Structure 1
């Protein structure tokens, strides 16, 4: 087993809001979680996902052989921290990490034993992976090779989403990836057409690679049952990958059948690398080894300095191109002209979703926010607020000196274009007309209004439009009044 030490706050996900995986784990049965806690790598990974206070409580109880009185534990908490303390206890209890027997608190024995093994490097469970025997004929893949593979696979997915399947790429996402994108609501097929990016999909593009990956993996977990896979084996493999060493090859022999089947899917997502599908070895990429870490999920690369930025300020752009440097790269003028200091194809493709590109230079793209470009984005499910949020999140440092950040006239116009598009609303229903007399029309109309199913009426033409749900009742009323005819 590789050496393992208690993760420090810097090496763990330190955040007040819970990790997206924790609610999913809390929804699982106690038996499933107890099976999961039999693996030290799973316990260590879940520990990393906990909030700082929850981790502190676990460490305080980990080496105690007897339960602690709840009152004694509560005495450690200052009054201002009572709410956070109660939330931490609730989280640990729902994860079945903490056991409460009335007035006493103790850790789940299975979790405690496995966590101790993870910290002290004891035991021979192999839950951290079994390194493959050295092969003198070939070396393990380099970190650069693994990073390049992960970036290529991940950008293939993002490029396909941005282009809605209309682009030309050397490689296209596999059918399994496309099915996952559709099931997760990031892309949708309308009237049998090719997959189109949805509003949720555009919001997905604004997330960090770490959040993007967990969004897809959560949907993958929700599909486990219909694929007749063992959920505990799937979760434990994710956690195993997150504790492996980057640049090292591991053997597939100790893996369960479920985990071996997962290798094909994880290759498509860029989480694992294999020389060929039948290989008995695999290497986790950075996407996998950072699943429960705060380290970047993909390699960062230094770029040229943005024109107009402060001297010495470097542009460190994420290789996916979506999450750019901390300084931003977009300048928006009051005349709707957009200047984007970037040469990343994926960033440019995202901008092309809602602006009309005019010029492209080595490190600069110029475009316009137009009525047509915004309406095109709205037609793809992207809202006006998402467009404004994207421009705000990636504004250039020079823009951040403005108050407000974006020109108010441009923000208002984008929202007006959305209102203009949404000024008409369609409803399914039935048109009632050709009444014999005005009295018949008014009598039926009054009945329909009592049911609150009238959407439109025209007294002069003796017709009205009713909802789909109310048609059965209105039709029956008319038939009863006319003796069976309409």
Structure 2
């Protein structure tokens, strides 16, 4: 079974969790980094932090922490049911696990003496990381070090920025920045268009579009080492250089090879990800490469997280940046995350300011907000008329006969559609095509899954298709409700069926999945097989528990066997041990 790329937030968290505690301590000295990491946490983890951050000693006992999460009362029919973990507790455990893996909380055991009985009990306490606590408090309360030296100087170095209508949004002292105020104005619309062109230039190169200007060598090298593209001939790793080799000469010799790379299966999957997932994937690969180049990983991470806390359109000085972060500027400019004025090579003038673009300031935003590079920019650049719902740029209409119509003039979106659609006609603002078995099989062979194709079609569906799907859903719910009321009068209605929203015709969805099944007759899973039970009761208790926590993959009641995921094996084993200990305890207890 192929493993698809995960969302940006989980990927970033996984990278941070694997860092040593010493790196965590250095990272958490930056308020901007702490604020960015806080935004990436689950809701319950955020609640725990916000509850502890302003309390004395930032410490809470485990019993007290359990009171913060309200669980619905459950009626247990037997002992085994009482041992089941409720979804609320699973969510709590997962949230605490995330905090502990990021070194945000520490477990402390203290001996508590009961004042009445004098008995001593060991109680588990959780303590918020003091470094993280101080930095996040500064960031939230607006302390002097809220965003570090970088943003402290921003107020005095902000350039004039105008919005779409030309109104001045912010204006501060320009002394020492630019000589000509009128010529040096930067519009947010310009930053949006510039970053869009930079980012889509990378995506166009991946899909093989003809480009007037190719991405930089650094970008091409990053695409190769991230596994998104591969070279035809040489497979030399540009970053695995010998100590005596000159890095610049090595890269220059391989420029022609990099420019003729082809996309990989992972690259096809990459194109269908939301923009935050795309950016974070490249940035995480950039982090790995920077470690090989002996760049300070703390400086690199801090600067990336600081970018997510900066304000769009403001100018920031480069004087307070470290040497590592100044090296990063050129690379981030190539990705479209940062804009910096460029002057002629013969000019002695050098800009010591930079402007974060929307791609940078949205790094720690909800990835679901931005569907693609084109949409995130169009949302800000093109303010659609709300009174004209027919204006759906990039919207897709698909019929039950598999014919597809897409209202777009974007070469990038057309290139993406061409990955799984047989395009037949192209007009000034629309392309027409049909989804065929061959076009879907071609996409599947290239690593795109049926779920990705369906998700892409649903995400970019025309507003009329979504409206019709909602109306159809409401009619189904009304019909099911009336039917359910008549059938269950006087009976318990627990098996009530809830209709789902069907934006894409079900026949199209089912057929795409069937075409995928043709190539995936067998799916493999890593896990553990449980067998050789003493009786049916043991077998039934364990497989039902595995089903409840969502780790059961297969079972055979006749053979008394079931199979669980690799991740869920430990929970099932611990549950089995609890059952065994309880049975032994009951057997050793003398009967009256």
Tell me the TM-score normalised to structure 1 length: 0.71
Q: Matches of 2:422 and 2:8 in 1, distance apart? A: 38
Gaps of 5+ in 2: 1-6, 73-87, 110-123, 158-172, 235-256, 344-349, 473-501, 522-592
Q: CA deviation at 1:42?
A: 0.8
Task: Give the 3-state SS of the residue equivalent to 1:217 in structure 2.
Answer: helix
Change (3 A) 1:29 1:364: same
Q: Matches of 1:385 and 1:49 in 2, distance apart? A: 25
Counterpart in 2 of 1:313? 389
Counterpart in 2 of 1:361? 427
Please state if 1:113 is matched with 2:185. Answer: no
Q: Matches of 1:180 and 1:360 in 2, distance apart? A: 33
Please state if 1:223 is matched with 2:289. Answer: yes
Asked whether the equivalents of residues 337 and 356 of structure 2 are also in contact (C-alpha less than 8 Å), the reply is yes
1:156-175 residue CA offsets vs partner (Å, 9 max, x unmatched)? 01111122xxx322221111
Change (3 A) 1:56 1:105: same
Change (3 A) 1:315 1:202: farther
Change (3 A) 1:45 1:140: farther
Change (3 A) 1:390 1:119: closer
Counterpart in 2 of 1:331? 398
Aligned ranges 1:336-415 → 2 under 5 Å? 336-370=402-436, 373-374=439-440, 377=443, 380-382=446-448, 386-387=452-453, 389-396=455-462, 397-398=464-465, 401=469, 405-406=504-505, 408=507, 412=511
Aligned ranges 1:60-459 → 2 under 5 Å? 60-66=51-57, 67-79=59-71, 81-102=88-109, 103-124=124-145, 125-126=148-149, 128=151, 130-131=153-154, 132=157, 134=174, 135=177, 136-138=179-181, 139-163=184-208, 167-191=209-233, 194-276=260-342, 278-294=350-366, 296=370, 298-299=376-377, 300=379, 301-302=381-382, 312-313=388-389, 315=391, 328-334=395-401, 336-370=402-436, 373-374=439-440, 377=443, 380-382=446-448, 386-387=452-453, 389-396=455-462, 397-398=464-465, 401=469, 405-406=504-505, 408=507, 412=511, 419=518
Asked whether the equivalents of residues 302 and 315 of structure 1 are also in contact (C-alpha less than 8 Å), the reply is no
Asked whether the equivalents of residues 273 and 283 of structure 1 are also in contact (C-alpha less than 8 Å), the reply is yes
Task: Give the 3-state SS of the residue equivalent to 2:19 in structure 1.
Answer: coil
Asked whether the equivalents of residues 354 and 373 of structure 1 are also in contact (C-alpha less than 8 Å), the reply is yes
Asked whether the equivalents of residues 41 and 127 of structure 1 are also in contact (C-alpha less than 8 Å), the reply is no
Name which of 21, 24, 29 aligns with 2:20.
29
Change (3 A) 1:100 1:341: same
Change (3 A) 1:198 1:315: farther
* Aligned length in residues: 391
Q: Matches of 2:192 and 2:511 in 1, distance apart? A: 42
Tell me the TM-score normalised to structure 2 length: 0.59
1:402-461 residue CA offsets vs partner (Å, 9 max, x unmatched)? 979346479648955995899xxxxxxxxxxxxxxxxxxxxxxxxxxxxxxxxxxxxxxx
Q: Matches of 1:115 and 1:417 in 2, distance apart? A: 47
RMSD (Å), alpha carbons? 3.3
Asked whether the equivalents of residues 403 and 432 of structure 2 are also in contact (C-alpha less than 8 Å), the reply is yes
Q: Matches of 1:230 and 1:362 in 2, distance apart? A: 49
Task: Give the 3-state SS of the residue equivalent to 2:321 in structure 1.
Answer: coil
Task: Give the 3-state SS of the residue equivalent to 1:229 in structure 2.
Answer: coil
**Structure 1 residue ranges (4+ consecutive) displaced by more than 6 angstroms after TM superposition:** none
Q: Matches of 2:12 and 2:129 in 1, distance apart? A: 20
Q: Matches of 2:520 and 2:137 in 1, distance apart? A: 60
Q: CA deviation at 1:284?
A: 0.5
Q: Matches of 1:127 and 1:152 in 2, distance apart? A: 27
